[in-house]
A = this chain, B = another copy of it.
Amino acid sequence: MTAPGDVVAAYWAAAATRDWDAFGDLVAEDVVYEGPQTRERIRGRAAYVRFNVEGFPGDWRLRVVRIIGEGRGAASWIDFTNADGTTQPGLCFFELNDDNRIARITDFWPDPYELPAQRAHLVERF
Chain A interfacial positions (CB closer than 8 Å to B): 5, 34-43, 47, 50-51, 54-57, 66, 68-71, 73-75, 77, 89, 91, 93, 106, 108-115, 118-119, 122-126
Q: Please name all residues of chain B whose beta carbon is closer than 8 Å to the beta carbon of A125 when the two chains form the complex.
A: 38-41
Interface pair B40/A123, CB less than 8 Å apart: yes
From A41, A70, A124, residue with most partner B Cβ within 10 Å: A70
Copies in the complex: 2
Task: Give every chain B residue within 8 A of A124 (Cβ-Cβ).
Answer: 40-43
CB-defined contacts of A37 to chain B, threshold 8 Å: 110-113
What residues of B have a CB within 8 angstroms of the CB of A5 in the complex?
70
Asked if residues A118 and B55 are in contact (CB atoms below 8 Å), the reply is yes
